[in-house]
Copies of this chain bind each other. A is one copy, B any other.
Amino acid sequence: MSIRIFIYDDSTERRDSLKALLSLDEQLVVVAEAPNCIHAIQDIENYFPDVVLMDINMPEVDGLEGLKRIKNKFPEVKVLMQTAYDDSEKIFTSLKNGASGYILKNDKPQRILQAIDEVFKGGAALNPAIAQKVLDYFKPAQRTTSLSPKENEVLSLLAEGLSYKMVADKLGVSYTTINTHTKRIYEKLHISSIGEAIAYYYKHLQ
């Protein structure tokens, strides 16, 4: 009873060292590899891995897009994201899109093997630094001040019940500007609707 693994990484070197690492655990079998996600769907169809080790920064079709494609078509396949930096936005984009874990490239080898095992068993594997960031999003404190002056102004007008168009008129800018501000507000607050934005406003900013 082995764990079938597919590796995506644009560096041949890196793929080789990963294969060397994984070969230490006889339960793990690297069934195939690729330098990017252009053929992600076919890859999965052909090799039906249990776990995908996914680098984020790859040319052509990157890991975030690959993750989406794979989870969309094969929700049962576990995808473990792997990158050099702990970029907050990418972490959340990944988790939102169904990643089973997020590890860093300089994590200890033992950690990586452990992570694969965890996600295969249905758990989630997060590098501790990543885990901290995730938890941070549940304490709204520091987010309060993260909005720019304009974003705060837009949010307060939305909280009055104004539509994008009305806010645009009131501030003398175009609709698209308000759309952009709102997108940034949603990004910063990690929400995705006007209702959540207004609830946030009255709960934390009022």
Contact = CB atoms under 8 A, between A and B. Distances in A.
Nearest to A167: B195
A196 interface: yes
A159 B199 contact: yes
Contact of A199 (B191, B193, B198): B198
Interface residues of A, number: 17
Contacts of A194: 194-195
A154 to B, nearest CB: 12
Interface in A153-206: 158-163, 191, 193-200, 202, 206
A67 to B, nearest CB: 23
Given A194-B194, A195-B194, A161 B206 contact: no
A200 B193 CA distance: 17
Interface of A: 158-163, 191, 193-200, 202, 206
14 contacts: A158-B195, A159-B198, A159-B199, A160-B195, A160-B199, A161-B191, A161-B195, A161-B199, A163-B193, A163-B195, A194-B195, A198-B198, A198-B199, A202-B206
